[in-house]
């Protein structure tokens, strides 16, 4: 996935297609890191330091070293080839931002769901909301340092994924790995067989 950026930072004049993609997942799964890793521009981030008051609503159990949280969205851009640009919108993971998710989903072609392999059950609400919105998605298991690795069949069963739902592993800190996860989503979105049945 090559990125073609004009010298002045603007999208090249040859770009004819823009695609909006959501990057979603539960709280503290790596969405901000993922968008920042792939973005060819300085990403927009709305992270704020977590406070003691936030501990009452943001469950930090099972989360290592988390001291900031996204309070609105993350935004990045990735130009593909000469004529396509992807706009990446990272949605906050807490349930209190559900209405914001719905607003961000407007006009999106699809979503990439980041999953923490140590907290799989926290992804159910995310995928349920995407299904409610009718937004197609692929799933990327973010392999943190020291995170367990499970066979694909076990992950599919644990996440209750349909056979056609794309499932990949990635490291949100690694550009190549993150790009492969995005490619799996784009391939799925443009799969003619899926389009026939949607």
The model's pLDDT over 35-90, given as tens digits with 9 standing for 90+, comes to 999 999 887 655 555 445 545 455 555 555 545 554 457 899 998 878 888 999 99
Question: Residue 191 phi/psi, 5° resolution?
Answer: -70, 115
pLDDT band at 177 (very low <50, low <70, confident <90, very high): very high
Return the higher-pLDDT residue of 194 and 180: 180
pLDDT band at 112 (very low <50, low <70, confident <90, very high): very high
Is the pLDDT reported for residue 94 higher than 80? no
Enter the DSSP assignment of 96: G
Return the higher-pLDDT residue of 44 and 149: 149
pLDDT band at 6 (very low <50, low <70, confident <90, very high): very low
pTM of the predicted model as reported, rounded to 2 decimal places: 0.80
Pick from 4, 74, 79: nearest CA to 43 = 74
Residue 161 sits at the vertex; the CA angle it makes with 155 and 163, to the nearest 5 degrees, is 105
pLDDT band at 166 (very low <50, low <70, confident <90, very high): very high
Q: What is the mean pLDDT of the chain?
A: 81
User: What's the confidence (pLDDT) of residue 141?
Assistant: 96
Section 3-13 average pLDDT: 60
* CA trace torsion 30, 163, 124, 145 (10° rounding): -30
Section 115-133 average pLDDT: 92
Query: How many whole angstroms separate alpha carbon 15 and alpha carbon 106?
Result: 22
User: Bridge-partner residues for 76, per DSSP?
Assistant: 88
Alpha helices in the chain (DSSP H): 31-38, 98-105, 124-133, 152-159, 175-189, 192-197
Pick from 110, 98, 81, 129: nearest CA to 20 = 110
User: What's the confidence (pLDDT) of residue 2?
Assistant: 47
């Amino acid at each position: 996935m090559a990125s073609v950026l004009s010298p002045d930072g603007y999208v090249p004049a040859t770009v004819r297609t823009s695609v909006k993609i959501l990057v979603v997942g539960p709280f503290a799964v790596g969405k901000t890191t993922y968008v920042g890793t792939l973005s060819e521009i300085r990403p927009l981030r709305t992270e704020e330091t977590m406070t003691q008051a936030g501990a009452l609503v943001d469950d930090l159990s099972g989360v290592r070293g988390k001291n900031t949280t996204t309070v609105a969205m993350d935004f990045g851009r990735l130009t593909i080839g000469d004529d396509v640009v992807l706009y990446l919108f990272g949605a906050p993971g807490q349930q209190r931002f559900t209405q914001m998710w719905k607003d961000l989903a407007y006009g999106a072609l699809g979503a990439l769901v980041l999953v923490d392999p140590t907290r799989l059950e926290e992804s159910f609400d995310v995928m349920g909301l995407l299904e409610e919105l009718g937004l197609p998605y692929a799933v990327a298991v973010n392999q943190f340092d020291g995170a367990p690795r499970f066979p694909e069949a076990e992950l599919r069963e644990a996440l209750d994924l349909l056979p056609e739902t794309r499932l990949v592993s990635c490291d949100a800190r690694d550009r190549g790995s993150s790009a492969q996860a995005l490619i799996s989503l784009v391939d799925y979105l443009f799969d003619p067989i899926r389009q026939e049945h949607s």
